[in-house]
Amino acid sequence: MEKVVEFILNRFPSVRDRIDVHMMEVINGAAVALVLKVLGAGLTFLFNLVLARTLGADGAGHYFLALTVTTIATVFGRMGLDNTLLRFTAANAAVNDWVAVKGAYVKGMKLAFIASSLSTVAVFVFAPVLADKVFQKPELSIPMRWMSVAVVPMTFVMLHAEGLKGLKRIRDSFIVFGVGVPAISLTVLLLFGARYGVNGAIWAYASGAIFTSLLGVILWNIATPKLRKVSGVFRTNDLFKSSMPLFWIASLSMMINWTATFALGVWGTQEDVGIFSMASRTAMLTSLILTSVNSISAPKFAELYKKKEIAALGATARNTAKLMTIIASPLLLLFLVAPQWVMGMFGEEFPKGGILLSILAIGQFVNVVTGSVGYLLIMSGNEKDMRNTVVVVSGISVLLNVILVKEFGLIGAAIATATCFSMQNIIATYIVWRKLKILTTPLWYKA
């Protein structure tokens, strides 16, 4: 992949000459990540397509409500340790402090296992209450209990994926989280989805989580032969000092992402949930490049901040934002020009979600244009500022969804979600400028 990137840049010498060594590392890593992310996104899209055509909008609504509950439980299971592991692995590996890398890994995994196990038990025990009292859909109890099986393995999938990013093993990271889960899930869904309905789809997702978590352990051990010769040492207090703000960031970000689904589950129909969920996941393709670039830019941010190379940090952040905006623009245009056609691929019930796709895609595009501001704050030790931002936006999200979903249904859910996505990154952009004197958005920046 590096040779391909080098060949392309050699065709444009004026562009090549403006790229420094840090940006070149980001481009090479992002190119690998983008290929795997596109593969993973394609597999996820196929999974959703098969799910929608097999279960219909109503069945898909059941699946996504169960997935929502499990996603919340997984956030509690991770305790913010995924991004903490990324930060400390990247920073300490950059200075060859393998004792600290192993210490953070071992303690992080132990804490995550305890927390995710407790989350699994909580979902299993309270599934009937959630199904009956919260969603007024008693039939959701059994699917939620089956889905709880995925909490522990998905927690380990995410922690190992972020740890591998910290080691700059981008390919392995995306194989674990981006490709492994949807590839296995799709295979199992094709085998059992039609026969077992919603439960079959949930078994598919849980199978993907279990087998991929084992793959994550294997790839981590292959990537870290140096850790076998050292005893890990890391202060638990330092781990919690970083992970607790990140836990709240993850929890409240999840609230922003899933509040609309919850609101539609309470005040809408199962069909509404299914249509909105498909539109939301399709709109996330707009920010596909953002997650690909973040995979390599996040450890690079941690490394540059650790070495106090702030000028290089700012240049890298701006250049990645510019790159992401250029690449994401054509997909946004497709979602604005032909949204009904895109949604129609999921089945005859889904084209009505075309306007939702357009609204949500705009919100995702704002995230792309503003750049990796969240990771800039987290990797520079400003987790609390990012936490405070998400606290404010999550409160606004709940308020907007209660008002807009009750009044306008699906359209209200899309407007509330897109507004909060945009607001979060705009506020974070301002904080990055105030704290680090870095302007990530390249549109108004002059060197």
Q: Given CA atoms 192, 194, 195, 197 in this order, what sign does their dihedral have?
A: positive
Instruction: State which residues form the domain around 391.
Output: 2-444
| Overall average pLDDT of the 252-270 stretch | 81
Residue 254 clears pLDDT 80, i.e. is over it: no
| Overall average pLDDT of the 221-231 stretch | 88
Number of domains in the chain: 1
User: Any residues with CB less than 8 A from the CB of 127 and at least 6 apart, and which?
Assistant: 69, 140, 141, 142, 144, 145, 148
Nearest 10 degrees: CA dihedral of 48, 50, 51, 53?
Answer: 120
Q: How confident is the model at residue 24 (pLDDT cuts 50, 70, 90)?
A: low
Query: What's the angle, vertex CA 405, arms to CA 268 and CA 411, rounded to 5?
Result: 95
Tell me the one-letter amino acid at 54: T
User: Any residues with CB less than 8 A from the CB of 84 and at least 6 apart, and which?
Assistant: 104, 108, 239, 242, 243, 246
Residue 234 DSSP SS3 = coil
Residue 348 DSSP SS3 = coil
The phi, psi pair for 307, rounded to 5°, reads: -90, 0
- Cα separation, 326 vs 281, in Å, equals 21
Residue 445 clears pLDDT 50, i.e. is over it: no
**Cβ-count burial of 446 within 10 angstroms (0-12 exposed, 13-18 middle, 19+ buried)?**
exposed
What is residue 49's predicted lDDT score, i.e. its pLDDT?
86
pLDDT per residue as tens digits for the range 46-96:
898 888 888 888 888 888 888 888 888 998 888 888 878 888 888 888 888
Q: How confident is the model at residue 117 (pLDDT cuts 50, 70, 90)?
A: very high
| Overall average pLDDT of the 250-274 stretch | 81
**Cβ-count burial of 214 within 10 angstroms (0-12 exposed, 13-18 middle, 19+ buried)?**
middle
- Cα separation, 223 vs 168, in Å, equals 10
C-alpha distances out from residue 168 to 84, 161, 444, Å: 15, 11, 31
H and E: helices and strands count for the chain: 18, 0
Q: Closest Cα to residue 318, out of 438, 183, 159? A: 438
Decide if 315 contacts 251 (C-beta within 8 A).
Answer: no
Residue 10 clears pLDDT 80, i.e. is over it: no
- Comparing 362 with 376, the larger pLDDT belongs to 362
Tell me the one-letter amino acid at 282: T
**Cβ-count burial of 434 within 10 angstroms (0-12 exposed, 13-18 middle, 19+ buried)?**
exposed
DSSP 177: I
Q: What is the DSSP string of 84-148?
A: HHHHHHHHHHHTT-HHHHHHHHHHHHHHHHHHHHHHHHHHHHHHHHIIIIISS-GGGHHHHHHHG
Q: Closest Cα to residue 88, out of 292, 316, 251, 246? A: 246
Decide if 323 contacts 27 (C-beta within 8 A).
Answer: yes
- Cα separation, 373 vs 329, in Å, equals 19
Residue 437 DSSP SS3 = coil
